[in-house]
Amino acid sequence: ILDTVDWVIPTFDIYKYGLTVLRDRFIGQLSEEEFDIIERVIPEIDRWLKVIPTNRTLLHTDCRADNIMFDYRDASHPAAYLIDWAMVRIGDAMTDVAYFLTSSLSPQDRLACEMDMLALHTQEIAAQDPAYTLEMAEQSYRNNIVSSMYLTLLSATGIPQTPHSDLLLM
């Protein structure tokens, strides 16, 4: 059914221009080694974008902490709502998880909780698809970890330069 959804935003190659934008924007704030790392990730992003995942779903694509609103009116059952669905696309469900963990947490916090988060995600997916395993989730997470750099490069090409947007990109 997802193949018939024609309103989903396609993937664009403009993200490659993001490296130039980041160089201009953050020269002196990022080292040449950091820019080299970004450049070396671009071929991985190219490969990642060509993969057609077997467990496709609608993706938020910009799943980070400041796109989540929390409702604590019922303290025993707080709710979370994803907002800003401007970048919806079809892809592997682990893309949003990988982007959230890599863009919303410090590396130390991410490393401390990522396996628990993957296990919780797997449990939720497996409730609908019992064949989905933690090993599958871990492989999918590794495959989709480049989503964070993809979104950073893509965002760099379109968001205006403000202190907040610079902080998000950094």
Predicted pLDDT at 13: 80
Predicted pLDDT at 10: 62
Predicted pLDDT at 80: 94
CA distance 71 to 75: 9
Residue bearing tokens 């910009």: 62
CA dihedral 84, 50, 143, 133 (to 10 degrees): 90
Instruction: Record the tokens describing residue 90, joined without a space.
Output: 């079809």
pLDDT along the chain (170 residues), means of 10: 68 85 94 95 92 86 92 95 91 92 93 96 94 95 93 91 89
Predicted pLDDT at 53: 86
Predicted pLDDT at 89: 86
- Contact (CB, 8 A) for 121 and 97: yes
Instruction: Write the single-letter amino acid at 70.
Output: F
Question: Residues near 82 by Cβ (< 8 Å), separated by ≥ 6?
Answer: 60, 63, 67, 68
Distances (CA, A) of 29 to 8, 21, 35, 74, 148: 35, 13, 10, 44, 19
Predicted pLDDT at 36: 96
Distances (CA, A) of 169 to 46, 57, 105, 114, 124: 20, 26, 14, 21, 30
- Contact (CB, 8 A) for 44 and 52: no
CA dihedral 15, 17, 19, 23 (to 10 degrees): -140
pTM of the model: 0.84
Burial tier of 57 (Cβ tally within 10 Å: 0-12, 13-18, 19+)? middle
Predicted pLDDT at 11: 64
Predicted pLDDT at 116: 96
Predicted pLDDT at 9: 60
